[in-house]
Amino acid sequence: MDFSGKNVVVTGGTGALGTAVVAALRDLGATCIIPYVHDEEARRSPHYQKPKVLMVPVTDLADEAMVARIYDNLQLWASIHIAGGFAAGRVAETGKHTLMAQIDGNLVSCFLCCRAAVNAMRDGGRIVNVAARPALEWRSGAGMAAYTIAKTGVAALTVALAEEVAKDGILVNAVAPSIMDTPANRATMPKADFNKWPKVEEVTATIVFLASPDNKVTRGAIVPVYGRA
């Protein structure tokens, strides 16, 4: 795969999965644009102030004007939307504030970035969203309904948008990870069998292929990346 001369936006590019995605893209020649919220996170990133990396400060990816500025005047090849958040909680214990935070952080941010990306892709391109296992297996979303609703929306957005823009040479797909093997997840679930969890590098490989020029036909897919979990 060759991303030489191609600009790729990676939201959530300072997190565990995003860092691996940016590393793979840089190795393949891409220039990565990484929106970030917290200065400390940006400085901790192994890609901070590195060649072929542009870090863009933002405060809210659910803000339409702010998202538009990230993509303004970009000759864009791909946009990969990893940014989001997780909140567990039974429906009886989840208020509107938590529900809307999940919808804004996961779905609205993805929608606005997709919108901006489509408008910035002048000669076709690729969009890859990140859904989640409960977006495909709703019953597994028990105890995390707000998160499940938001990520199911990401999956539906992916399929609908893929149909809209296929004629423009833009292929839109998503991955749906199970719990990934990250230090944070290990700390949260210390008794789990980590060997069953997909590694971030493995999920990265699927994302990078879907975002690459080598992907010539796959669109509207929500690809399960579960490992053995």
Task: Spell out the SS3 assignment of 169-190.
Answer: CEEEEEEEECCCECHHHHHHCC
Cβ-proximal residues to 146 (8 Å cutoff; 6+ apart), any chain: 87, 89, 94, 98, 99, 101, 102, 103
Distance CA 227, CA 229 (A): 6
Predicted confidence band of residue 219 (pLDDT cuts 50, 70, 90): very high
- What mean pLDDT comes out for the span 43-52? 96
pLDDT value of residue 145 = 98
pLDDT value of residue 217 = 98
| Among 36, 48, 147, 226, the one annotated catalytic | 147
**228: how many CB neighbours lie within 10 A of its CB?**
9
Q: Which CATH superfamily does the domain covering 7-224 fall into?
A: NAD(P)-binding Rossmann-like Domain (3.40.50.720)
What does the block give as tokens for 159?
């399929």
- What mean pLDDT comes out for the span 143-157? 98
- Percentage of the chain exceeding pLDDT 90: 97
147 is catalytic: yes
- What mean pLDDT comes out for the span 8-18? 97
Lowest-confidence pick of 111-115, 154-158, 187-191:
187-191
Residue range 21-38, pLDDT digits in tens: 999 999 999 999 999 999
Q: From 149, 146, 101, 155, select the one nearest 128 (Cα to Cα).
A: 155
Q: Looking at the predicted structure, is the pLDDT value of residue 44 above 90?
A: yes
Are the C-beta atoms of 36 and 11 separated by less than 8 Å? no
Distance CA 131, CA 81 (A): 9
pLDDT value of residue 229 = 84
Distance CA 140, CA 122 (A): 39
The residue ranges of every structural domain in the chain are 7-224
Average per-residue pLDDT for the chain = 97
Predicted confidence band of residue 59 (pLDDT cuts 50, 70, 90): very high
Residue range 73-107, pLDDT digits in tens: 999 999 999 999 999 999 999 999 999 999 999 99
- What mean pLDDT comes out for the span 112-119? 98
Are the C-beta atoms of 96 and 24 separated by less than 8 Å? no
pLDDT value of residue 61 = 98
What does the block give as tokens for 195?
């060997």
pLDDT value of residue 199 = 95
